[in-house]
């Protein structure tokens, strides 16, 4: 195994530690950092540029399966999940993820990187300026509205390899759910999106990527290396979550996302 490959795996583990810690500390999804980290590390490993972003997105979804299991089980145990909402949104998420992954498979890397960088920039602005939906008491939306929102959440996840928190959290807040149920219910959206998205990236990339330990658009060592490290780091991050000035951290993290976004746009 080449030295560069081994070094990249070590850096991938360190990236998993950082992403897991920040995710638990700030209560955000890790995909917005994991995808760029995987993108650069896969390039460092020598993957073909045309496959770089697709494999980063597919591998990020694989890692999200592992990292979201603990979150879902914890929130479900604490009664923080509005299951009626989850079941109404779930079919739309599945359809949206598949549609997003199919579109991602036909876009070239340059377009996919640009789309991701733009979305990353918008998320960074939300974090820096703390744009939030104003909560109001509203009834759970009907099936058509829930399916529509679920499709948008899933489409973003399937296209970019990230969780749907940037859409689901403001929506659930707007519906008037308390913060604990917003976080808990949103986590149940990420888990199925990650499973369906991984399968979609696996199938759409079959026979298209020639790179060690890769099947379809999924680099399998990413699960134990980055995923395992991320799970461990979330435990530490959760313990520090109430001890640090969240507002300042969100601004710093938002600025970091802006820099990552600019870097990806100019790469």
- Residue 217: its pLDDT value, please? 96
- Residue 104: its pLDDT value, please? 94
- Show the DSSP H helices in the chain as ranges: 3-26, 31-45, 49-77, 83-106, 109-129, 143-160, 165-174, 179-204, 222, 228-240, 246-266
Token pair recorded at residue 120: 């990353």
**Euclidean distance between CA atoms 120 and 199, whole angstroms:** 24
What is the SS3 assignment for 133?
A: coil
> Which tens digit of pLDDT belongs to each residue from 92-135?
999 999 999 999 999 999 999 999 999 889 888 887 886 565 65
Check residues 99 and 31 and name the one with the higher pLDDT: 99
Q: How many CB atoms lie within 10 A of CB 255?
A: 13
> Which tens digit of pLDDT belongs to each residue from 212-244?
899 999 999 998 998 888 888 877 776 665 566
**Euclidean distance between CA atoms 19 and 26, whole angstroms:** 11
- Residue 33: its pLDDT value, please? 84
Q: How many CB atoms lie within 10 A of CB 232?
A: 15
Place of tokens 């073909």: 48
What's the pLDDT band for 74 if we cut at 50, 70, 90?
A: confident
Lowest-confidence range among 17-21, 47-51, 61-65, 136-140? 136-140
Q: Which residues pair with 214 in a beta bridge?
A: 219
**Euclidean distance between CA atoms 267 and 260, whole angstroms:** 10
- Residue 25: its pLDDT value, please? 67
């Amino acid at each position: 195994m080449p030295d560069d490959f081994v070094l990249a795996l070590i850096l991938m583990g360190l990236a998993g530690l950082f992403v897991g810690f920040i995710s638990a500390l700030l209560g955000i999804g890790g995909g917005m950092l994991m995808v760029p980290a995987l993108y650069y590390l896969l390039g460092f490993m020598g993957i073909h540029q045309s496959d770089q972003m697709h494999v980063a997105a597919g591998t990020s979804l694989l890692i999200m399966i592992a990292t979201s299991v603990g979150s879902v089980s914890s929130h479900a145990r604490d009664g923080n999940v509005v299951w009626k909402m989850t079941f109404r949104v779930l079919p739309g998420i599945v359809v949206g993820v598949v549609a997003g992954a199919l579109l991602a498979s036909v876009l070239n890397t340059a377009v996919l990187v640009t789309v991701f960088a733009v979305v990353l920039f918008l998320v960074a602005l939300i974090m820096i300026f703390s744009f939030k939906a104003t909560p109001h008491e509203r009834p759970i939306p009907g099936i058509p509205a829930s399916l529509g929102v679920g499709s948008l959440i899933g489409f973003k996840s399937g296209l970019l390899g990230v969780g749907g928190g940037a859409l689901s959290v403001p929506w659930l807040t707007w519906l008037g759910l308390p913060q604990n149920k917003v976080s808990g219910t949103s986590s149940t959206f990420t888990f199925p999106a990650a499973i369906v998205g991984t399968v979609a990236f696996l199938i759409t990339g079959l026979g298209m990527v020639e790179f060690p330990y890769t099947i379809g658009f999924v680099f399998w060592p990413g699960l134990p290396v980055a995923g395992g490290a991320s799970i461990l780091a979330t435990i530490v991050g959760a313990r520090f979550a109430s001890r640090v000035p969240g507002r300042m951290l969100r601004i710093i993290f938002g600025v970091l996302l802006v820099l990552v976004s600019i870097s990806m746009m100019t790469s």
